[in-house]
Amino acid sequence: MLRRKDMTDLKTRFDAQKAAFEAEPWPSLERRQSRLDRLMALTRDHEPEIVAAINADFAGRSSHETRLAELFVIAGGIAHAKSHLKRWMRTQRVPTALHFLPAHNRLMPQPLGVVGILSPWNYPYQLAIGPAVAALAAGNRAMIKPSELTPNFSDLLARLVAKLFDPAELCVVTGDADVGKAFSATPFDHLFFTGSTAVGRQVAMAAAANLTPVTLELGGKSPAIIDPSADIARIARRLAFGKLLNAGQTCIAPDYLMVPQGQSTAVAEQLSRAVKALYPTIESNPDYTSIISERHRDRLAALVEDARTQGARVIEIAPVAANRAGSRKLSPTLLLDVKPSMRIMQEEIFGPLLPIVEYDGVDAAIARIKAGERPLALYLFGSNSDNRERILRETHAGGVTVNDCLWHLAQEDQPFGGVGASGTGAYHGEWGFRTFSHYKPVFSQTGLAGTALFQPPYGKVFELLLATLRRIT
C-alpha cells in the first residue's frame, strides 16, 4: 500500500526537477557531457558493487553476464553518445520551398523536460541507465523507478546516483508496486517503461490521463527460424547462448524455435550438445544464472508440467539435482511435439525453456509468425537469401538478428524497440536522443516576404500566382 510519505517524496522530487528544468531549459554541451561522464564513472568505478548486488538479488547471477550484458553495453552507449552529442544537438537547416524564399526553415532539437524511467528486474542496470543516458544527453532531467524484485541493486543504485548527481538532475525512487503505479501517474514530460506487455498496458493507461507520451519496451513470443539451408551444428551454440543468457530471462530471447519438418529430434540433439558445452553443470555453475524468484521458478515449472500433461516430449539438459526443491536454478529444457493449446505456446516464457515447432515450407513459417502478435525480436538461421528476404519483408518484429541471437540490441547506430504488442518507440544511440527531444520546426521570415502575394484582397495576381505554383510543384 502506498504510504503518504512515499507519495510526498515522489512529488517533491518531481517538483524539484521540474523547477530545475525551467531554470535551465537548454543545458549546454558541456553540462550534458558532464552528466554522461558521471554516468560513465558510475558504470566503471562501481562495477564490483553492482555485480555483487545483482548477484544477491538473483541468488546466483553470472558475474560475466552482468559485466557483458549490463556494464559493457552501457559503457559503449555512453561513449557513443559523448562522441556524437555535439552533432545531435545541432539545429538543422532543412529545405524551403521555392515560393517561400528568401525565408528559411530550421529544425531545433529541444529537451522535453522531466523524464520518468520505469525499469525491470531482468537487466536492472542496463535497462535503468540506458534510457537515462539518452534522456540526459537530450538535456532532460530524469527520475528512475527500479524494480522491487531487485531490492539490493535498487538501494545501491539510489545511493550511488545520490553521490554523483544533484537530485534535481537525476534521482532514483525506490519502493513497491504501489510506488510504481504512482510513478506511472506522475505528469512527466515523457515516460519510458520496460517490462511485460500486461503491465505496459497499465502504464500507458495511467500516462494517458496526463497526456504523457510513452515509450514502451515490452516483449512477446520472439521466434527463431532454422531454414533448411542452415548448418545446424554451427549455429546450435549461438542459439543456445541466445536462449540461456541470464537463464532465458531476456526480453529478446528466442521464445520458440521453428525447424523444418522432420528435423526436431536432430535439432534437439545438436542443441543439447551445445548447451552441455556451454554449461557442463548447472546447479553449482557460476556461469549459469538463477531464476529471479521462487514465484517465477514455480511459474516456469508449471509451464513444463502443463506441456508434459498435454503430450509434449520434455528434454531436461542437466543433472536431475539441478531441479531439487528450494533451488532457483532451472535446467535448460527443450520441449518437442508442442501444441497451440499449451500454455508454453501462449505465454511469454522468460526462462530457460525452448519449445521446438516443425514447419513445412517458408509459407507455413510466415503464416505462423503472422498469426500471433508482433514480437520484439526475430532470428533467422540459414544461407538461403530468397527465404530470408521473404521473411524479413512479410513479417513484423521489433528487430532481427540473422545467423546469431541478441546482437542487434547492442548496435548503437541502430534503433532498438518493439512494434505492435511488443512496444512502441525506440532508443539507443541517436534514436534515444530523438525519443527524448522535441524537434521544433522554425520558419524564419525575411524583410522581403513573398507570402504577401497570398494575402487579400484576392484578384488576378493571386490567381496567376496560384496557377504558376500548381504547374511547378
Q: Say which of 47, 70, 171, 251 is annotated catalytic.
A: 251
Helices (H) and strands (E) counted in the chain, each on its own, are 16, 18
User: Cα(189)–Cα(142) distance, rounded to whole angstroms?
Assistant: 10
According to DSSP, residue 72 is labeled I
24 is catalytic: no
Q: Answer for the pair 416, 252: CB distance below 8 angstroms, yes or no.
A: no
User: Cα(148)–Cα(281) distance, rounded to whole angstroms?
Assistant: 30
Coil, helix or strand at residue 149:
coil
Nine-digit cell string for 372: 500471433
What backbone phi and psi angles, to 5 degrees, belong to 378? -145, 140
Contacts for 98 with CB less than 8 Å, ≥ 6 apart:
472
251 is catalytic: yes
CB-based burial label for 423 (10 Å; 0-12, 13-18, 19+): buried
Q: Say which of 65, 169, 217, 412 is annotated catalytic.
A: 217
Coil, helix or strand at residue 227:
coil
Alpha helices (H) in 328-459, listed in sequence order: 362-371, 385-394, 429-435
What is the radius of gyration, based on Cα positions, of the chain?
26
Name the strands in the sheet holding 437-444, side by side, starting at the edge strand that comes first in the sequence. Answer: 92-94, 104-111, 437-444
**Cis amide linkage into residue 120, ω under 30° from 0:** no
User: Cα(60)–Cα(281) distance, rounded to whole angstroms?
Assistant: 14
- Residues catalogued as catalytic: 217, 251
